[in-house]
Amino acid sequence: MIYLNNAATTLQKPPEVAQAVLDAMANAGSSSRGASADDLAAARSVAGARLRVARLLGFEHPERVAFTLNATMALNTAIFGLLRPGDHVITTDFEHNSVLRPLNELERRGVIEVDHLPADSAGHLHTEDLDGMFRPNTRAIIATHASNLTGAVVDVAALARVAHAHGAVSVLDAAQSLGCIPVNMGAIGADIVCFTGHKALMGPQGTGGLAVSPGVELVPLVHGGTGVKSAEPLQPESYPEHLEAGTMNAQGLAGLAAALDVLLDLGVERVEEHERALRSRFVDRLGQIPGVEVYGIHDGHDHTGVVAMNLAGLDSSTLADRLAYDYGIATRAGLHCAPRMHAALGTLDRGAVRFSFGWYTTEHDVDAALDALCHIAREVG
Amino acid sequence: MLLAALRPPRPRTPHTVVSFTSTFDAMEAERLCQQAGVPGRIIPLPVEITAECGLAWSMPPDDETRAAFLAAVEGHLVPDGLYTLLV
């Protein structure tokens, strides 16, 4: 199988990741629930992962990196923890349902009002409209760093600057960026960064989290045991326990720490360069295949290693099935949990096929995908 | 198990015990002390400090070790409290 669904999860990981998980399964007890050698091994594993995430983000407060199951839970923690009755929120048409649905739910309950920075039919986000969207009660702007559908990178630093000028908080969804493009919290101006471990970070599923700048107050999403301050009736105010209740995923976080060691050693810039080269190779030939429509290509704009396309005469699920079953190439069809972006592109009814590359994707993989698309295009053309 | 049961109890001696506001700070203290060569180990938070669970750093009680500890963690974390206790 040639795995080109890395925007969903990276299948190929550094071998150190599985080994670290295996070691932790054998040796890690319960983090923060005891001081025996085995329990401290688990606590070291979790603390080590926290330090490495902070280092990758250029964030000076590792204690304010709280772990969750994934980016969705991190975003829910940020959104439900930050927003108060009467707040107004700005988000974008690029967003994943992990942002849209929590906001929609709060809006349905009558708690908040939401506006969306629009994307046009070419998949371009109109950031110039942003300034006029702010209201006196705008509490936050919540934006993805890159579209999970087209790979288009958002100028999130510009969004944060405007947000701060209006006294609003900047929340960054880095699910599609952390690990494949540089994410420096300070340089971007993000007050909260939500991330997942199983995509470009190349860690295990079930790992993710959020980094919360000092001064940003969140009401915890989950409440329960922390292993500290057990007599207090409410969740401790101190981080990371403020946002972490229940036994931590020490095995998964051991794997994430191992993945981060590899990534920090490698350098995110190298991953970015690798994926950009693969994307160019793919898009350049893709445009020569009759009947192919590629979405959201903007010369001069940055993209991650993600490409969305359709082939005339085939719906997206049929094309993805042909690629998987007949050619052994994994992609993803449908709406990619990004309904507003598909609506902007005019693909809400047929979806699209998304190819997404990772650090372990090779030029051979890209060429095999192009050859398969050529064959299928000839059949249906 | 039988041999362990027959082992004489380890005498408790005075130690400097440091408490923290979070488990992460306790683990950071351990890492920083190991880097700096400050002797000690993580122990369950003694009930003399609080019965509320958690971890603490225990080290020899002399002033030199205490100073080395404070130097090692300076700029990284602020201890919640320092105590002299039998460990």
Q: Residue A364 is part of a domain; what is its CATH number?
A: 3.90.1150.10
Task: Establish if B3 belongs to a structural domain.
Answer: no
CATH number at residue A91: 3.40.640.10
- Considering only CB atoms, A230 lies closest to which of B31, B52, B55, namely B52
Contacts of B57 in chain A (CB under 8 A): none
Q: How far is CA B39 from the centre of its chain?
A: 10
- Alpha-carbon distance of A101 to A115, in angstroms, equals 13
Same domain, A160 and A212: yes
Task: Establish if B40 belongs to a structural domain.
Answer: yes
Split into its structural domains, chain A has a count of 2
Mean pLDDT of A102-124: 97
Q: Which residue of B has its CA nearest to A61?
A: B76
- Among the candidates A232, A249, A266, a domain finishes at A266
pLDDT in tens, A344-368: 999 999 999 999 999 999 999 999 9
Q: Do the beta carbons of residue A288 and residue A281 sit within 8 Å?
A: no
Confidence of residue B3 (pLDDT cuts 50, 70, 90): low
Task: Establish if B65 belongs to a structural domain.
Answer: yes
Q: How many CB atoms within 10 Å of residue A3?
A: 20
Q: Which residue of A has its CA nearest to B54?
A: A228
Sheet containing strand A208-212, edge to edge, reads: A65-68, A208-212, A192-196, A169-173, A138-144, A87-92, A112-117
Split into its structural domains, chain B has a count of 1
- Among the candidates A237, A266, A295, a domain finishes at A266
Mean pLDDT of B21-39: 96
Same domain, A209 and A275: no
By mean pLDDT, which of A110-119, A228-237, A259-268 is the weakest?
A: A228-237
Q: Do the beta carbons of residue A325 and residue A372 sit within 8 Å?
A: no
Q: Do the beta carbons of residue A342 and residue A119 sit within 8 Å?
A: no
> In the prediction, which pLDDT does B30 show?
97
Which residues 12-41 of chain A have a CB within 8 Å of chain B? 31-32, 34-35, 40
pLDDT in tens, A32-43: 888 899 999 999
Residue B19: name the closest of B58, B65, B74, B75 by CA: B58
Distance from CA of A34 to the nearest CA of B (A): 7
> In the prediction, which pLDDT does B2 show?
59
Same domain, A312 and A221: no
Mean pLDDT of A203-227: 97
For residue B75, what are the domain limits? 10-86
Same domain, A87 and A139: yes
Tell if the CB–CB gap between A227 and B21 is shorter than 8 Å.
no
Best of A30, A31, A32, A64 to substitute, by most chain B Cβ atoms within 10 angstroms, is A32
DSSP secondary-structure letter at B55? E
**Sign of CA pseudo-dihedral B33, B37, B43, B46:** negative
Q: Using CB atoms within 10 A of its CB, is residue A86 exposed (0-12), middle (13-18) or buried (19+)?
A: exposed
With H, G, I as helix, E, B as strand and everything else as coil, classify residue B73: helix
By mean pLDDT, which of A176-190, A265-279, B7-21 is the weakest?
A: B7-21
Same domain, A215 and A273: no
Tell if the CB–CB gap between B44 and A34 is shorter than 8 Å.
yes
Task: Establish if B5 belongs to a structural domain.
Answer: no
Task: Establish if B4 belongs to a structural domain.
Answer: no
CATH number at residue B33: 3.30.70
Task: Establish if B50 belongs to a structural domain.
Answer: yes
Omega of the bond prior to A118 within 30 degrees of 0, cis?
no
Same domain, A166 and A286: no
Same domain, A109 and A65: yes
Q: Is the pLDDT of residue B1 over 60?
A: no
Share of chain A above pLDDT 90, in %: 93
Contacts of B52 in chain A (CB under 8 A): 228-232
Report yes or no: A351 at the B interface, CB cutoff 8 Å: no
Same domain, A311 and A190: no
Tell if the CB–CB gap between A231 and B50 is shorter than 8 Å.
yes
Task: Establish if B21 belongs to a structural domain.
Answer: yes
For residue A162, what are the domain limits? 15-266
Contacts of B27 in chain A (CB under 8 A): 40, 43-44, 46-47
Best of B22, B30, B73, B78 to substitute, by most chain A Cβ atoms within 10 angstroms, is B22
Confidence of residue B74 (pLDDT cuts 50, 70, 90): very high
- Alpha-carbon distance of A365 to A189, in angstroms, equals 37
Report yes or no: A118 at the B interface, CB cutoff 8 Å: no
The total number of residues written for chain B in this structure: 87
Same domain, A295 and A224: no
What's the one-letter identity of residue A260?
L
pLDDT in tens, A49-100: 999 999 999 999 999 999 999 999 999 999 999 999 999 999 999 999 999 9
ipTM: 0.85
- Residue corresponding to tokens 């190779």: A281
Same domain, A260 and A281: no
By mean pLDDT, which of A143-152, B16-25, B46-55 is the weakest?
A: B46-55
Q: Please state the three-class secondary structure of chain A as a single string.
A: CEECECCCCCCCCCHHHHHHHHHHHHHCCCCCCCCCHHHHHHHHHHHHHHHHHHHHHCCCCHHHEEEECCHHHHHHHHHHHHCCCCEEEEEECCCCHHHHHHHHHHHHCCCEEEEEECECCCCCECHHHCHHHCCCCEEEEEEECECCCCCEECCHHHHHHHHHHCCCEEEEECCCCECCECCCHHHHCCCEEEEECCCCCCCCCCCEEEEECCCCCCCCCCCCCCCCCCCCCCCCCCCCHHHCCCCCCHHHHHHHHHHHHHHHHHCHHHHHHHHHHHHHHHHHHHCCCCCEEEECCCCCCCECCEEEEEECCCCHHHHHHHHHHHHCEECECCCCCCHHHHHHHCCCCCCCEEEECCCCCCHHHHHHHHHHHHHHHHHHC
> In the prediction, which pLDDT does B53 show?
80
Q: B29: part of which helix (H) or strand (E)?
A: helix B23-36
> In the prediction, which pLDDT does B4 show?
67
Same domain, A262 and A351: no
Share of chain A above pLDDT 70, in %: 99
Average pLDDT, chain A: 96
What's the one-letter identity of residue A248?
M
Tell if the CB–CB gap between B23 and A232 is shorter than 8 Å.
no
Same domain, A159 and A246: yes
Mean pLDDT of A91-119: 98
> In the prediction, which pLDDT does A32 show?
85
Average pLDDT, chain B: 92
> In the prediction, which pLDDT does A72 show?
98
- Among the candidates A266, A294, A320, a domain finishes at A266
- Alpha-carbon distance of B85 to B18, in angstroms, equals 10
- Alpha-carbon distance of A165 to A61, in angstroms, equals 24
Share of chain B above pLDDT 90, in %: 79
**Whole-Å CA distances, A181 to A270, A337, B66:** 9, 22, 43
- Considering only CB atoms, B24 lies closest to which of A35, A40, A50, namely A50
